[in-house]
Amino acid sequence: MQKHTFPGRPSLLVAAITLAFPVFASAQTAATAPGDAGRVQTQTETKDAPQVLETIVVRARGRDETQQSVPMSVKAFSAKAIEDAGIKNPGDFVALTPNLSLAESQSVGTSFMTIRGLSQVRNGEAPMAVVVDGVIQSDAKQFTQELFDIQSIEVLRGPQGALYGRNASGGAILITTKQPSNKTGGFGQFSLGSGGEKALQGAVSGALVEDRVLFRVAGNVTDRDGYFDNLAQGKKADPYQNQTLRGLLKWKASDALTLDLRASTVRDKAGANNFQYQPTHLLADCTADLANAFDFSRLNADHVTRTFCANNTGRNTRDMDEVTVKADYELNFATLTGILSHNHINEYVAADQFPYSATRNLYGPGLDGTQTQFVDVKSDSYELRLTSPSAKGVRWMAGIYGLKTDRFISTTTGSDLGKGITDLSHDPAFASLTNPTLTWMADNNHNRAWAAFGNVDYDLTSKVEISGALRYDSDERKQTVDSRQTAGVPAGCTAANQAACTKTETFSAMQPKISLRYKADDSSLAYVSWGKGFRSGQFNQSGVGAAAAVATPPVAGVRDQIGAEITKSLEAGYKTELAGGKLRLSAAGFKSEVTNAPYFVFIGAVGAQVLVAIDKVDLIGGELEAVANLAPGWDAYAGLGITDSEIKSYKVNPALVGKRAPYVPDRTANIGSQYRFPVGSGLRLVLRGDIVSKGKQYWDPENSTARSAVTLLNLRAMLEDAKGKWTAALTVNNATDKAYNAEWVGGGFAAPALPRIARLDLRYNF
């Protein structure tokens, strides 16, 4: 029988803190506004006012609705909840959302989300749509950005492809930034944190022409030395710098027409490829033990090392620029919305090659040398949709969407001559005297996607609603291989014969969704839904299949192309409010069948990152969430997500049928409490404790090793001006300094998760 782990000491600590809150506060005067955990709107309450949970408004179905009326599983965060929880990056809100997990390693643009058992992998498409201010992000590298000046975050679980398109098989994340108003105002915040972190962010907003032309500008600058040491070089392995600037200009051209112009720029510099290669024994001087370079008995996802021995400094840059124009025009019968967006993203990684030791060219050139990867993506998207008013009876939406993407990627290994790593992008450097290129894999990808969609919500009675949605997506992909590749060049491919270097494929699918909702009253509903999701297939870099077959150890099942993933999901849920509005409960269960599920494989010998498909995976699970107002100013909340995954068919290795799917934790959970109370004239103190649990997780279809369940404790204390002018907050994440791996890649590549991190934020609102 499988043993289940429970929080233990961290939970006792949070419980003690929580129980101490009301004892401490009882000596204070007059109750003030309660905590805002799990809410989307703030409220002002007097001593005698009823203490109830605030109504949560979401835009899950493209229009404003209360969370209690939407027939889907939704987790929402308001601007105040984001501030109270100290959410600074996507990983922070992911930790508070059941059945959602995020692993980050390798580079600032590399992350892989898992939602209800559907996983994101390197160089692959995400299993959920990410929508920022109504614009769907076109590339997964955009997701891991600094979160600041945010109005709300909504996480929609379950297939959302009918509304949000391809890659929304598992759900959608809707992020809304703060909007401008006539009143001139903003904020400034200064932060100091562990790892030598210093950060400054702020925003200013107002009217250029009152009621007509409004603006908002927000920016962030972060500089951090790093958390981990590189013993071979005597310096930090993971420095980080970020500069982000966003601007919004809103023009109300007439009573019917509103235009938004948005622009943003992001510049990141960081460490990269901070992995441990577990099979290789490292000696005290950080060199590799040549007699124990491939000891695969050492593979263990629970073994954590927080220091590194690479003789080459890992370097990572990510540049992102975006410009978007959005127009809303009020017609007599509907709102016409048009969106045009342009994105340019490039990311570069240069690092030591595995086994990441101080040894150079272990066993000759090509092993423990150097590696680089350069990705340059330009995309243009458009969307045109009509949305009916939110009236009783019939509500509908219809539209079209298009996306054009041009993507270049190059991956190299090089001979380590002890002179550093030569920056490579579009061309190899075979003749370099500093860092000669050994392997070169590169290709251009021209992708064209389009979709047509629509949905209708119809009130059968005052309590029963039936909803139907349908979307057709088509994704045409063309890959042109660089004829200079050192392996995997298609027959006849030369610089003069580009036609022989080119492969094309079109992936398409119809994505229907239907749901039935029974709303017993304004605070309770039950629903059932069925939907189909589509994640586009794609090309791996040409030749990786052959490289995988001769790698050490060999990797089976790698192909130069993987097909589209299709997900069919059935869901049932129930939501209610009890105790006069002081307790909110929601529960959902799902069963999904996934065909052609992708997972990630790293082939260290050629530095290749490839996708492999599992023929069929079954997923069964659900979420249970609760939010309660226990007393004036005192909130408690808890969430539990369960996902049972099973490989049902795998032609590459039928012996793996019955194993768990990779990158899928069997459970995610969080429990916490927040208490806001006065501590003096015009001052309030906010105390918060959160326990986050990540369940047992395998990383490959062989289930070769599992990371055991991990329990983390996060604490936060905030002193605030009762008028909302300023705050001073101290946050400690991973307070018990739990050591665990953020990622473990098949073959023994381990990346440690972040240690205990403390941060002080000083904020002034004006």
Give SS3 for 39: coil
Pairing mode of beta strands 524-535, 502-521: antiparallel
Determine what percent of the chain is predicted with pLDDT higher than 90.
Answer: 74
Q: How many helices (H) and strands (E) does the chain have?
A: 5, 42
pLDDT for residue 607: 54
State the pTM of this model: 0.89
Highest mean pLDDT among 41-50, 99-108, 329-338: 329-338
pLDDT for residue 604: 57
- More confident of the two residues 611 and 685: 685
Read off the pLDDT band of 39 (50, 70, 90).
Answer: very low
Domains annotated for the chain, with CATH where assigned, are: 9-765 (2.40.170.20)
DSSP element (H, E) containing 21: helix 9-25
CA distance 668 to 673: 18
Encode pLDDT of 58-94 as tens digits: 888 888 888 888 899 999 999 999 999 999 999 999 9
Indicate the residue type of 309: C
pLDDT for residue 695: 95
Query: Which of 334, 350, 472 minimizes the C-alpha distance to 400?
Result: 472
Do 219 and 267 touch, CB atoms closer than 8 A? no
Q: Is the pLDDT of residue 679 over 60?
A: yes
- More confident of the two residues 389 and 522: 389
Encode pLDDT of 453-473 as tens digits: 999 999 999 999 999 999 999
- More confident of the two residues 558 and 193: 193
Encode pLDDT of 402-436 as tens digits: 999 999 999 999 999 999 999 999 999 999 999 99
Count the Cβ atoms, other than its own, within 10 Å of residue 654.
Answer: 10
Encode pLDDT of 489-515 as tens digits: 988 999 999 999 999 999 999 999 999
pLDDT for residue 602: 64
pLDDT for residue 612: 80
Specify the residue for token string 């029963």: 464
Residue 142 CA from chain centroid, whole number: 9
Q: Is the pLDDT of residue 8 over 60?
A: no
Ranges 35-39, 111-115, 647-651: which has the least confidence: 35-39
Read off the pLDDT band of 5 (50, 70, 90).
Answer: very low
Instruction: State the Cα angle at 456 between 455 and 461, rounded to 5°.
Output: 155
pLDDT for residue 651: 83
Let me know if 462 is exposed, middle or buried by CB neighbors in 10 A (0-12, 13-18, 19+).
exposed
User: Across residues 578-584, what is the average pLDDT?
Assistant: 92
Average pLDDT over all residues of the chain: 89
Residue 673 main-chain phi, psi, to 5 deg: -150, 150
- More confident of the two residues 68 and 701: 701
The tokens describing 398, both together, are 């219809």
pLDDT for residue 603: 64
Determine what percent of the chain is predicted with pLDDT higher than 70.
Answer: 91
pLDDT for residue 269: 97
pLDDT for residue 304: 97
Give SS3 for 217: strand
pLDDT for residue 12: 39
Encode pLDDT of 706-760 as tens digits: 999 999 999 999 999 999 999 999 999 999 999 999 999 888 999 999 999 999 9
Read off the pLDDT band of 10 (50, 70, 90).
Answer: very low
Q: Is the pLDDT of residue 16 over 90?
A: no
